[in-house]
């Protein structure tokens, strides 16, 4: 199992610190991203969904939201009528459908075998679907020495899997948001 720590949730169900729901809404779900990348009305699988807090944003953009987490159960405050929760390991879980978007909000780093996680995504994506990964820029670049074991090179992973990766880095809290699709 990967060596990582769980986030600490506040009484409102949000993460204490800088990447709050308000921050995610402002910096990741800007209107131009919704128009350019998010397919309103389509399905999304949020991998490593934690307590499901991001559902409060996702349900605005997608007809159906699927969550999967290996450790944390969904908080009833974030379990809406159009949310389906699965408990299990994403890489080995048998889904009975495909998805338009598969997202990793600060969770991709937790996968010890990242090529296997990408391969699972490709197996589960609809033909025109994409993978969304939001992670701290230092996790990919290896700048945080204490997190060196969590680092990865997304460009290299995409190249090996014949994928295209568009990305941007958010303001305030440096987060790399990557949109990955088939060539």
Give domain limits for the chain. 40-182
Nearest-angstrom CA–CA distance, 108 and 95: 19
Least confident of 61-65, 95-99, 138-142, 160-164: 138-142
Q: What is the pLDDT of residues 52-108, one digit of tens each?
A: 999 999 998 889 999 999 998 899 999 999 999 999 999 999 999 999 999 998 899
Assign domain 40-182 to its CATH architecture: 3-Layer(aba) Sandwich (3.40)
Tell me the C-alpha to C-alpha distance, in Å, between residue 82 and each of 19, 29, 42, 59, 78. Answer: 24, 19, 12, 7, 11
Whether 77 contacts 118, CB under 8 Å = no
């Amino acid at each position: 199992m990967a060596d990582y720590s769980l986030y600490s949730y506040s009484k409102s169900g949000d993460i204490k610190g800088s990447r709050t729901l308000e921050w995610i809404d402002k910096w990741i779900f800007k209107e131009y991203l919704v128009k350019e990348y998010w397919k309103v009305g389509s399905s999304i699988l949020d991998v490593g969904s934690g307590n499901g807090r991001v559902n409060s944003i996702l349900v605005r953009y997608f007809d159906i939201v699927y969550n999967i987490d290996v450790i944390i159960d969904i908080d009833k405050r974030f379990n809406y009528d159009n949310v389906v929760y699965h408990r299990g390991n994403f890489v080995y879980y048998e889904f009975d459908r495909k998805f338009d978007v598969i997202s990793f909000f600060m969770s991709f780093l937790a996968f010890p075998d990242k090529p296997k996680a990408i391969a699972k995504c490709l197996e589960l994506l609809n033909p025109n679907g994409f993978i969304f990964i939001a992670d701290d820029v230092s996790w990919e670049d290896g700048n945080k020495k204490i997190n060196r074991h969590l680092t990865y090179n997304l460009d290299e992973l995409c190249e090996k899997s014949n994928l295209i990766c568009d990305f941007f880095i958010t303001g305030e809290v440096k987060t790399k948001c990557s949109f990955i699709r088939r060539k």
